[in-house]
């Protein structure tokens, strides 16, 4: 269902895959080459960057990382004239950094972003709708903020919750190399085992997010309308990714 045939294998990234090739509830299949979800491209080699833009025809890059993250690891596309680079940081506000419940219970973190990050999420979905060619959207490891956006995109085009969860779970195996890469960024007040556990994609996390959206907004469509995304943009997303 969500096997390796969707993976984008490039030197310097580990968790990039096409949202195309997934079954929809109406019997269709999501279109390939429209949206790529992934991890931060700051370590992409020059040939890999060229491949992303030529072989995969990426013309728009949406960076979901915080300003702190982009300051630490700047995007190679931020000043690349070949692409439209959009910084849309999904940063948490009102989260107490020493409150481990808020930080480590990821379904609460997801819900918090959904409730508070209306403006950047609106910009993300409008950019996804308006982009003329393939769009690559990413955060740091391509799991949480990227997972939220990917899940809503797939829900909008009628992909079932089981398939969305399956796509989300693929991240765990992909990002094993990133655990060591980001080990030095572990906050001192979070023990090593707990920090490494945050790199695991769990079905319950994304399932609870989908249920939260369903209960509070009716659907991903309802959420997008709630944050100000127009009917035109929602229709465009459905037309671009759906069949």
> Which residues are known to be catalytic?
139
**150, 128 Cβ separation under 8 angstroms:** no
Sheet of strand 84-87, all strands in order from the earlier edge strand to the far edge:
17-18, 35-38, 134-138, 58-63, 84-87
The residue assigned the tokens 């209306």 is: 118
H/E stretch holding 17: strand 17-18
CA 6 to chain centre: 15
Sign of CA dihedral 29, 210, 91, 223: positive
């Amino acid at each position: 269902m969500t096997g390796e045939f969707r993976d984008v294998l490039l030197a310097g990234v580990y968790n990039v895959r096409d949202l195309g090739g997934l079954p929809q509830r109406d019997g269709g299949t999501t279109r390939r080459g429209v949206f790529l979800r992934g991890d931060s491209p700051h370590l992409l080699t020059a040939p890999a960057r060229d491949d992303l833009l030529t072989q995969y025809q990426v013309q728009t890059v949406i960076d979901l990382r915080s300003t702190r993250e982009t300051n630490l690891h700047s995007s190679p596309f931020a000043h690349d004239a070949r692409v439209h680079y959009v910084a849309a940081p999904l940063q948490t506000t009102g989260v107490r950094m020493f409150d481990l419940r808020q930080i480590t219970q990821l379904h609460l973190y997801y819900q918090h972003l959904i409730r508070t990050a209306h403006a950047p999420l609106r910009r993300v979905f409008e950019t996804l709708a308006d982009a003329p060619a393939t769009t690559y959207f990413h955060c740091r490891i391509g799991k949480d903020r990227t997972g939220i956006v990917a899940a809503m995109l797939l829900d909008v085009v009628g992909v079932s919750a089981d398939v969305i969860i399956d796509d989300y779970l693929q991240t765990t195996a992909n990002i094993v190399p990133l655990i060591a890469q980001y080990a030095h960024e572990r906050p001192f007040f979070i023990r090593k085992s707990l920090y490494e556990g945050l790199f695991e994609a769990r079905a319950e996390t994304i399932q609870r997010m989908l249920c939260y959206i369903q209960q509070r907004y009716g659907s991903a469509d309802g959420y997008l309308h709630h944050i100000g995304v127009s009917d035109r943009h929602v229709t465009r997303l459905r037309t671009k990714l759906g069949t």
